[in-house]
Amino acid sequence: MGRRKKAESEPEEQPSRAAGACVLVVLASVALAAVFAVSPTAGVLLLWVVGGAALWRCARSVSDSSATPPPEEARPSCRECAGHELVSVTPLAGQKGMWIYTTAAPDRPNHTHVHVVAEEVNTP
Report how far apart, in Å, the C-alpha atoms of 77 and of each of 14, 66, 81, 102, 124 are: 60, 28, 7, 12, 29
Average pLDDT, integer, range 14-26: 87
Cα(105)–Cα(2) distance, integer angstroms = 80
- List, for residues 27-66, the tens digit of each pLDDT value: 999 999 999 999 999 999 999 999 999 999 888 877 656 6
123 in the same domain as 90: yes
Are residues 80 and 109 located together in one domain of the fold? yes
Q: pTM, whole model, 2 decimals?
A: 0.39
Q: How many domains does the chain have?
A: 2
Residues 57 and 83 in one domain: no
| Domain around 104 | 76-124
Q: Percent of the chain scored above 70 by pLDDT?
A: 69
